[in-house]
Protein backbone atom coordinates (compact mmCIF):
# COMPACT_ATOMS: atom_id res chain seq x y z
CA UNK A 1 0.00 0.00 0.00
CA UNK A 2 1.45 3.34 -1.06
CA UNK A 3 2.01 6.29 1.22
CA UNK A 4 -0.59 8.29 -0.70
CA UNK A 5 -3.28 5.64 -0.26
CA UNK A 6 -2.50 5.41 3.45
CA UNK A 7 -2.81 9.18 3.73
CA UNK A 8 -6.16 9.11 1.90
CA UNK A 9 -7.46 6.31 4.10
CA UNK A 10 -6.34 8.12 7.25
CA UNK A 11 -8.02 11.34 6.08
CA UNK A 12 -11.21 9.40 5.37
CA UNK A 13 -11.18 7.91 8.88
CA UNK A 14 -10.70 11.32 10.47
CA UNK A 15 -13.48 12.74 8.30
CA UNK A 16 -15.86 9.97 9.39
CA UNK A 17 -14.93 10.52 13.04
CA UNK A 18 -15.52 14.25 12.65
CA UNK A 19 -18.95 13.64 11.12
CA UNK A 20 -19.85 11.28 13.98
CA UNK A 21 -18.60 13.51 16.81
CA UNK A 22 -19.37 16.88 15.25
CA UNK A 23 -23.05 17.03 16.25
CA UNK A 24 -22.21 16.02 19.83
CA UNK A 25 -19.47 18.65 20.17
CA UNK A 26 -21.71 21.32 18.67
CA UNK A 27 -24.58 20.29 20.96
CA UNK A 28 -22.38 20.48 24.07
CA UNK A 29 -20.99 23.90 23.11
CA UNK A 30 -24.44 25.26 22.27
CA UNK A 31 -25.96 23.89 25.49
CA UNK A 32 -23.26 25.42 27.67
CA UNK A 33 -23.67 28.73 25.85
CA UNK A 34 -27.44 28.71 26.39
CA UNK A 35 -27.17 27.68 30.05
CA UNK A 36 -24.40 30.25 30.53
CA UNK A 37 -26.79 32.97 29.38
CA UNK A 38 -29.29 31.82 32.01
CA UNK A 39 -26.58 31.87 34.71
CA UNK A 40 -25.44 35.33 33.65
CA UNK A 41 -29.00 36.67 33.84
CA UNK A 42 -29.26 35.22 37.36
CA UNK A 43 -26.11 37.15 38.33
CA UNK A 44 -23.69 34.22 38.74
CA UNK A 45 -20.06 34.01 37.67
CA UNK A 46 -20.36 31.86 34.52
CA UNK A 47 -16.66 30.98 33.95
CA UNK A 48 -16.20 29.99 37.59
CA UNK A 49 -19.41 27.94 37.54
CA UNK A 50 -18.38 26.03 34.42
CA UNK A 51 -14.85 25.49 35.70
CA UNK A 52 -16.37 23.94 38.83
CA UNK A 53 -18.76 21.72 36.84
CA UNK A 54 -16.18 20.44 34.36
CA UNK A 55 -13.02 20.11 36.45
CA UNK A 56 -14.11 19.10 39.97
CA UNK A 57 -13.98 15.43 38.96
CA UNK A 58 -10.31 15.69 37.99
CA UNK A 59 -8.86 17.93 40.70
CA UNK A 60 -8.43 15.21 43.31
CA UNK A 61 -8.47 11.46 43.80
CA UNK A 62 -11.76 11.82 45.66
CA UNK A 63 -13.32 13.66 42.71
CA UNK A 64 -12.26 10.95 40.26
CA UNK A 65 -13.56 8.15 42.47
CA UNK A 66 -16.87 9.90 43.17
CA UNK A 67 -17.32 10.29 39.42
CA UNK A 68 -16.61 6.60 38.81
CA UNK A 69 -19.03 5.59 41.59
CA UNK A 70 -21.69 7.77 39.99
CA UNK A 71 -20.85 6.34 36.56
CA UNK A 72 -21.71 2.74 37.52
CA UNK A 73 -25.49 3.07 38.07
CA UNK A 74 -25.76 5.63 35.27
CA UNK A 75 -24.32 3.37 32.59
CA UNK A 76 -26.41 0.41 33.78
CA UNK A 77 -29.61 2.46 33.88
CA UNK A 78 -28.86 3.76 30.39
CA UNK A 79 -28.36 0.20 29.10
CA UNK A 80 -31.63 -0.86 30.76
CA UNK A 81 -33.29 1.75 28.56
CA UNK A 82 -31.33 1.32 25.33
CA UNK A 83 -31.70 -2.47 24.96
CA UNK A 84 -35.51 -2.29 24.68
CA UNK A 85 -35.06 0.95 22.73
CA UNK A 86 -33.15 -1.00 20.09
CA UNK A 87 -36.25 -3.20 19.71
CA UNK A 88 -38.50 -0.16 19.44
CA UNK A 89 -39.76 -0.37 23.02
CA UNK A 90 -39.41 2.04 25.94
CA UNK A 91 -38.49 0.87 29.42
CA UNK A 92 -39.38 3.81 31.65
CA UNK A 93 -39.37 1.63 34.76
CA UNK A 94 -35.64 1.51 35.44
CA UNK A 95 -36.22 3.29 38.75
CA UNK A 96 -38.60 0.60 40.01
CA UNK A 97 -36.36 -2.17 38.69
CA UNK A 98 -33.35 -0.66 40.47
CA UNK A 99 -35.36 -0.60 43.70
CA UNK A 100 -36.50 -4.19 43.13
CA UNK A 101 -32.90 -5.22 42.51
CA UNK A 102 -31.79 -3.46 45.68
CA UNK A 103 -34.56 -5.20 47.63
CA UNK A 104 -33.61 -8.59 46.18
CA UNK A 105 -29.92 -8.05 46.93
CA UNK A 106 -30.63 -6.84 50.47
CA UNK A 107 -32.98 -9.75 51.15
CA UNK A 108 -30.38 -12.30 50.08
CA UNK A 109 -27.62 -10.47 51.96
CA UNK A 110 -29.61 -10.33 55.19
CA UNK A 111 -31.22 -13.78 55.14
CA UNK A 112 -27.98 -15.55 54.22
CA UNK A 113 -25.64 -13.18 56.06
CA UNK A 114 -23.57 -16.03 57.48
CA UNK A 115 -22.47 -17.43 54.12
CA UNK A 116 -18.84 -16.96 53.03
CA UNK A 117 -18.08 -14.24 50.50
CA UNK A 118 -17.49 -16.59 47.56
CA UNK A 119 -21.12 -17.73 47.90
CA UNK A 120 -22.90 -14.70 49.31
CA UNK A 121 -21.60 -12.03 46.91
CA UNK A 122 -22.65 -13.85 43.70
CA UNK A 123 -26.02 -14.64 45.30
CA UNK A 124 -26.53 -10.98 46.22
CA UNK A 125 -25.80 -9.83 42.67
CA UNK A 126 -27.88 -12.59 41.08
CA UNK A 127 -30.71 -11.86 43.51
CA UNK A 128 -30.70 -8.25 42.35
CA UNK A 129 -30.73 -9.17 38.66
CA UNK A 130 -33.51 -11.71 39.16
CA UNK A 131 -35.61 -9.24 41.16
CA UNK A 132 -35.19 -6.58 38.45
CA UNK A 133 -36.23 -9.06 35.74
CA UNK A 134 -39.23 -10.19 37.80
CA UNK A 135 -40.28 -6.59 38.37
CA UNK A 136 -40.57 -5.98 34.63
CA UNK A 137 -42.10 -9.41 33.96
CA UNK A 138 -45.68 -8.15 34.31
CA UNK A 139 -45.27 -5.21 31.87
CA UNK A 140 -43.41 -7.51 29.44
CA UNK A 141 -46.16 -10.16 29.63
CA UNK A 142 -48.93 -7.56 29.19
CA UNK A 143 -47.12 -6.30 26.09
CA UNK A 144 -46.59 -9.85 24.77
CA UNK A 145 -50.12 -11.10 25.48
CA UNK A 146 -52.37 -8.05 25.10
CA UNK A 147 -50.15 -5.46 23.34
CA UNK A 148 -50.59 -3.08 26.32
CA UNK A 149 -48.21 -0.15 26.00
CA UNK A 150 -45.05 -0.78 28.01
CA UNK A 151 -44.48 2.92 28.76
CA UNK A 152 -47.59 3.09 30.92
CA UNK A 153 -47.05 -0.21 32.73
CA UNK A 154 -43.35 0.27 33.48
CA UNK A 155 -43.99 3.77 34.85
CA UNK A 156 -46.81 2.52 37.09
CA UNK A 157 -44.55 -0.22 38.48
CA UNK A 158 -42.21 2.52 39.72
CA UNK A 159 -44.85 3.77 42.16
CA UNK A 160 -45.41 0.28 43.52
CA UNK A 161 -41.65 0.00 44.11
CA UNK A 162 -41.59 3.28 46.08
CA UNK A 163 -44.12 1.92 48.55
CA UNK A 164 -42.48 -1.52 48.72
CA UNK A 165 -39.01 -0.23 49.63
CA UNK A 166 -40.49 2.00 52.33
CA UNK A 167 -42.44 -0.93 53.80
CA UNK A 168 -39.43 -3.29 53.83
CA UNK A 169 -37.09 -0.66 55.31
CA UNK A 170 -39.53 0.22 58.09
CA UNK A 171 -41.32 -3.06 58.85
CA UNK A 172 -39.39 -6.11 57.64
CA UNK A 173 -35.71 -5.53 58.49
CA UNK A 174 -35.66 -2.02 60.01
CA UNK A 175 -32.60 -0.50 61.61
CA UNK A 176 -33.89 1.11 64.83
CA UNK A 177 -30.84 3.36 65.11
CA UNK A 178 -31.38 4.98 61.70
CA UNK A 179 -33.39 8.18 61.40
CA UNK A 180 -34.48 7.26 57.88
CA UNK A 181 -36.23 4.15 56.46
CA UNK A 182 -33.22 1.82 56.40
CA UNK A 183 -32.66 -1.90 56.88
CA UNK A 184 -30.01 -3.59 58.93
CA UNK A 185 -26.74 -4.23 57.01
CA UNK A 186 -26.25 -7.23 54.75
CA UNK A 187 -23.62 -9.82 55.66
CA UNK A 188 -20.01 -8.71 55.20
CA UNK A 189 -19.53 -11.51 52.65
CA UNK A 190 -21.96 -9.67 50.35
CA UNK A 191 -19.79 -6.56 50.10
CA UNK A 192 -18.17 -5.90 46.75
CA UNK A 193 -14.36 -5.92 47.02
CA UNK A 194 -12.59 -2.59 46.78
CA UNK A 195 -10.40 -1.63 43.85
CA UNK A 196 -9.07 1.35 45.81
CA UNK A 197 -9.08 1.58 49.60
CA UNK A 198 -8.95 5.34 50.19
CA UNK A 199 -11.13 6.87 48.93
CA UNK A 200 -13.06 3.60 48.51
CA UNK A 201 -13.90 2.45 44.98
CA UNK A 202 -15.82 -0.82 44.66
CA UNK A 203 -15.48 -3.49 41.98
CA UNK A 204 -18.92 -2.67 40.59
CA UNK A 205 -17.02 -0.45 38.16
CA UNK A 206 -15.52 -3.54 36.53
CA UNK A 207 -18.92 -5.24 36.38
CA UNK A 208 -20.50 -2.19 34.73
CA UNK A 209 -17.78 -2.00 32.07
CA UNK A 210 -18.05 -5.73 31.37
CA UNK A 211 -21.84 -5.51 31.06
CA UNK A 212 -21.54 -2.53 28.71
CA UNK A 213 -19.03 -4.43 26.54
CA UNK A 214 -21.23 -7.56 26.51
CA UNK A 215 -24.30 -5.56 25.49
CA UNK A 216 -22.35 -3.88 22.68
CA UNK A 217 -21.13 -7.24 21.35
CA UNK A 218 -24.61 -8.75 21.62
CA UNK A 219 -26.48 -5.97 19.83
CA UNK A 220 -23.86 -5.02 17.24
CA UNK A 221 -21.99 -8.24 16.49
CA UNK A 222 -24.38 -11.18 16.81
CA UNK A 223 -27.24 -12.46 14.68
CA UNK A 224 -29.60 -12.26 17.68
CA UNK A 225 -28.65 -8.62 18.14
CA UNK A 226 -29.23 -7.97 14.45
CA UNK A 227 -32.75 -9.39 14.78
CA UNK A 228 -33.33 -7.08 17.76
CA UNK A 229 -32.22 -4.04 15.77
CA UNK A 230 -34.21 -5.12 12.71
CA UNK A 231 -37.32 -5.42 14.88
CA UNK A 232 -36.88 -1.91 16.18
CA UNK A 233 -36.13 -0.50 12.73
CA UNK A 234 -39.17 -2.01 11.01
CA UNK A 235 -41.42 -4.36 12.92
CA UNK A 236 -43.53 -5.33 9.91
CA UNK A 237 -40.54 -6.13 7.70
CA UNK A 238 -38.92 -8.13 10.52
CA UNK A 239 -42.10 -10.19 10.88
CA UNK A 240 -42.23 -10.81 7.12
CA UNK A 241 -38.68 -12.19 7.20
CA UNK A 242 -39.55 -14.67 9.97
CA UNK A 243 -38.37 -12.82 13.07
CA UNK A 244 -40.56 -13.44 16.11
CA UNK A 245 -40.95 -9.82 17.12
CA UNK A 246 -43.18 -10.52 20.12
CA UNK A 247 -40.51 -12.75 21.65
CA UNK A 248 -37.89 -10.06 21.06
CA UNK A 249 -40.05 -7.40 22.68
CA UNK A 250 -40.40 -9.66 25.71
CA UNK A 251 -36.70 -10.56 25.81
CA UNK A 252 -35.48 -6.98 25.43
CA UNK A 253 -37.59 -5.82 28.36
CA UNK A 254 -36.42 -8.71 30.55
CA UNK A 255 -32.78 -7.93 29.75
CA UNK A 256 -33.35 -4.26 30.54
CA UNK A 257 -35.00 -5.16 33.84
CA UNK A 258 -32.18 -7.52 34.83
CA UNK A 259 -29.52 -4.87 34.15
CA UNK A 260 -31.49 -2.22 36.06
CA UNK A 261 -31.82 -4.72 38.92
CA UNK A 262 -28.05 -5.23 38.86
CA UNK A 263 -27.56 -1.49 39.29
CA UNK A 264 -29.63 -1.70 42.47
CA UNK A 265 -27.69 -4.73 43.71
CA UNK A 266 -24.39 -2.90 43.16
CA UNK A 267 -25.67 0.10 45.13
CA UNK A 268 -26.42 -2.25 48.03
CA UNK A 269 -23.30 -4.42 47.80
CA UNK A 270 -20.84 -1.70 46.86
CA UNK A 271 -22.04 1.61 48.31
CA UNK A 272 -24.70 1.41 51.02
CA UNK A 273 -24.32 -2.19 52.31
CA UNK A 274 -27.98 -2.03 53.26
CA UNK A 275 -31.34 -1.04 51.76
CA UNK A 276 -32.17 2.66 52.06
CA UNK A 277 -35.36 4.38 50.92
CA UNK A 278 -34.37 6.80 48.15
CA UNK A 279 -31.52 4.62 46.92
CA UNK A 280 -32.67 5.22 43.35
CA UNK A 281 -31.69 8.93 43.51
CA UNK A 282 -32.28 10.45 40.03
CA UNK A 283 -30.65 7.59 38.13
CA UNK A 284 -33.72 6.88 35.97
CA UNK A 285 -33.95 10.39 34.54
CA UNK A 286 -30.21 10.53 33.88
CA UNK A 287 -30.24 7.04 32.34
CA UNK A 288 -32.95 8.13 29.90
CA UNK A 289 -31.00 11.27 29.02
CA UNK A 290 -27.82 9.23 28.43
CA UNK A 291 -29.64 6.70 26.25
CA UNK A 292 -31.28 9.41 24.16
CA UNK A 293 -28.11 11.47 23.78
CA UNK A 294 -26.26 8.31 22.68
CA UNK A 295 -29.19 7.57 20.33
CA UNK A 296 -29.17 3.96 21.45
CA UNK A 297 -25.57 3.51 20.27
CA UNK A 298 -24.09 1.07 22.80
CA UNK A 299 -20.53 2.02 21.88
CA UNK A 300 -21.31 5.61 22.88
CA UNK A 301 -23.29 4.92 26.06
CA UNK A 302 -20.29 4.52 28.46
CA UNK A 303 -18.69 7.73 27.23
CA UNK A 304 -21.90 9.74 27.53
CA UNK A 305 -22.52 8.20 30.97
CA UNK A 306 -19.06 9.26 32.13
CA UNK A 307 -19.62 12.81 30.87
CA UNK A 308 -22.96 13.01 32.70
CA UNK A 309 -21.27 11.65 35.86
CA UNK A 310 -18.71 14.45 35.58
CA UNK A 311 -21.53 17.00 35.33
CA UNK A 312 -23.31 15.49 38.34
CA UNK A 313 -20.22 15.58 40.58
CA UNK A 314 -19.43 19.10 39.39
CA UNK A 315 -23.01 20.17 40.09
CA UNK A 316 -22.73 19.10 43.73
CA UNK A 317 -19.50 21.08 44.11
CA UNK A 318 -21.02 24.10 42.37
CA UNK A 319 -24.00 24.03 44.70
CA UNK A 320 -21.77 23.82 47.78
CA UNK A 321 -19.17 26.41 46.84
CA UNK A 322 -21.01 28.93 44.64
CA UNK A 323 -24.57 28.50 45.96
CA UNK A 324 -25.80 27.92 42.42
CA UNK A 325 -28.86 25.63 42.24
CA UNK A 326 -27.85 22.09 41.27
CA UNK A 327 -30.81 22.03 38.90
CA UNK A 328 -28.71 24.11 36.50
CA UNK A 329 -26.98 20.89 35.48
CA UNK A 330 -30.36 19.45 34.52
CA UNK A 331 -30.80 22.49 32.29
CA UNK A 332 -27.41 21.85 30.67
CA UNK A 333 -28.24 18.16 30.15
CA UNK A 334 -31.65 19.05 28.72
CA UNK A 335 -30.05 21.52 26.32
CA UNK A 336 -27.51 18.89 25.22
CA UNK A 337 -30.30 16.42 24.46
CA UNK A 338 -32.32 19.08 22.66
CA UNK A 339 -29.41 20.20 20.48
CA UNK A 340 -28.40 16.61 19.68
CA UNK A 341 -31.94 15.92 18.48
CA UNK A 342 -31.97 19.16 16.51
CA UNK A 343 -28.69 18.21 14.86
CA UNK A 344 -30.37 15.07 13.49
CA UNK A 345 -33.16 17.18 12.00
CA UNK A 346 -30.69 19.59 10.40
CA UNK A 347 -28.58 16.76 9.03
CA UNK A 348 -31.62 15.11 7.41
CA UNK A 349 -32.64 18.39 5.81
- Say what the pLDDT of residue 274 is: 96
Q: How far is CA 148 from CA 96, 140, 143, 179, in A?
A: 19, 9, 5, 41
- Say what the pLDDT of residue 6 is: 47
Consecutive H or E run containing 16: helix 3-41
Residue 242 falls in which region: left (phi positive, over 0), alpha (psi -120 to 50) or beta: left
- Say what the pLDDT of residue 325 is: 82
pLDDT per position as a tens digit, 170-207: 999 999 988 889 999 999 999 999 999 989 999 999 99
Question: What residues does 174 pair with on adjacent strands?
Answer: 183
State the Cα torsion 208-213-215-216 to the nearest 10°: 140
pLDDT per position as a tens digit, 291-323: 988 988 999 999 999 999 999 999 888 888 888
Average pLDDT, the chain: 90
Consecutive H or E run containing 195: strand 194-196
Assess whether pLDDT exceeds 80 at residue 14: no
For the ranges 2-6, 114-118, 322-326, the maximum mean pLDDT occurs at: 114-118
Tell me which of 57-71, 121-135, 140-154, 281-295 is least confident. Answer: 281-295
Q: What is the pTM of this model?
A: 0.92
pLDDT per position as a tens digit, 70-97: 999 999 999 999 999 999 999 999 999 9
CB atoms within 10 A of CB 207: 20
Higher-pLDDT residue of 46, 25: 46
Q: Burial letters for 170-203: b for 16+ Cβ neighbours within 10 Å, e otherwise?
A: beebebeeeeebbbbbbbebbbbeeeeeeeebbb
Confidence category of residue 336, pLDDT binned at 50, 70, 90: confident
As a whole number, mean pLDDT of residues 106-133 equals: 97
Amino acid sequence: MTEQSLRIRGTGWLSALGRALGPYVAAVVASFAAAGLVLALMGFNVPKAYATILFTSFRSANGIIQTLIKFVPLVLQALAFTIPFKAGKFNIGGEGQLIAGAIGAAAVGIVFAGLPAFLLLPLVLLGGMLAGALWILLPAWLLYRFRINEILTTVLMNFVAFELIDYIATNVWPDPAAGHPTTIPIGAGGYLPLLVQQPPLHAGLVLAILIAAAVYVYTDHTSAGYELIATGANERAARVYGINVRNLFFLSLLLGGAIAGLSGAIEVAGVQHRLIAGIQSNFLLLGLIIGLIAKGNHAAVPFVAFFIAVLEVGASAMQRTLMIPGEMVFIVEAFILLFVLLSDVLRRR
